[in-house]
Amino acid sequence: MGDESIVGKQRLQKILSAHGVASRREAERLIQDGRVFVNDSIAVLGQSALCGVDRITVDGVPLACKEQFVYIMMNKPRGYLTTMTDDRGRSTVMELLQDINIRVYPIGRLDLNTEGLLLFTNDGEFANSVAHPSFNKTKTYQVRVRGNASEAVQLLTKPIEVDGRMVRAVKAELISESAKGGVLEITINEGRNRQIRKMCTQTGVAVLKLKRISIGELKLGTLETGKWRYLTTKEVKAFGK
């Protein structure tokens, strides 16, 4: 994946053009002439930067960057709280974003022992479009359970009372089954506190492992546990941006 497809980082000539320094072609000449620096190092043609995070200067004059929105996806590991800080000293997902020099915050929440797809941004409008139920962004989870997995699949798509509200899965599939349990894929269009765990309990199965694998059209894919990456422009646009 090239840097041009990453939301956040952009080619230097594009940044300079967007901020009125020069046309893209003229900006290329500025870079080739050694007049552009990024973080006190001379820039090279084809280099990308994150405006507002990286320090960009032209002829020694710092570029006054416009507000820069950042969009990130992480494969959250178990054992990390989805919060900015914790007064009890427990590990938080923010510790896994130490290489980010711009303040972002997690969208929604995965509980301590839930892993998988978690989004971060500093764009409030984007966060709302992902998290608010009115935007109808489905969330799919892979769930390893103990108990009658076949029966649970049948019950999950029927109304279930959770915390005084009737909820139901948009879709539930049996991926595999054994004598002791099985693996399910459950899709919901809400995201209430521990909703999947509570729904499973109501169907008579116990959750052994819970992992979110998609939000809307965005899939976790092969992103390694504990790692993160920027969303591409196409991925962000799929959320209506």
Q: What is the CATH number of the domain that holds 75?
A: 3.30.70.580
Task: Decide the pairing of beta strands 114-121 and 206-215.
Answer: parallel
Q: Domain check: are 22 and 89 in the same one?
A: no
- Which of the following is catalytic: 40, 59, 87, 111? 111
Q: Domain check: are 173 and 188 in the same one?
A: yes
Q: Domain check: are 193 and 232 in the same one?
A: no
pTM of the model: 0.76
Q: Domain check: are 83 and 199 in the same one?
A: no
> Which residues on neighbouring strands pair with residue 120, listed in sequence order?
72, 106
Query: Residue 4: which pLDDT band, with cuts at 50, 70 and 90?
Result: very low
Cα gap 123→220, rounded to integer Å: 21
Q: Domain check: are 110 and 57 in the same one?
A: no
> Does the structure show a pLDDT above 80 at 66?
no
Q: In this structure, are residues 77 and 173 in contact, taking their beta carbons and an 8 Å threshold?
A: no
The pLDDT score that the predictor gives to residue 83 is 92
Residues of the domain holding 189 = 138-215
Q: Domain check: are 114 and 225 in the same one?
A: yes
> Does the structure show a pLDDT above 70 at 6?
no
What would you measure as the largest C-alpha separation in the chain, in angstroms? Answer: 71
76-123 pLDDT, tens digit each: 999 999 999 898 999 999 999 877 767 889 998 899 999 999 999 988
146-167 pLDDT, tens digit each: 999 999 999 999 999 999 999 9
Residue 59 bears catalytic tag: no
**Residue whose C-alpha is closest to residue 149's, from 108, 177, 111, 188:** 177
> Does the structure show a pLDDT above 90 at 237?
no
The pLDDT score that the predictor gives to residue 101 is 67
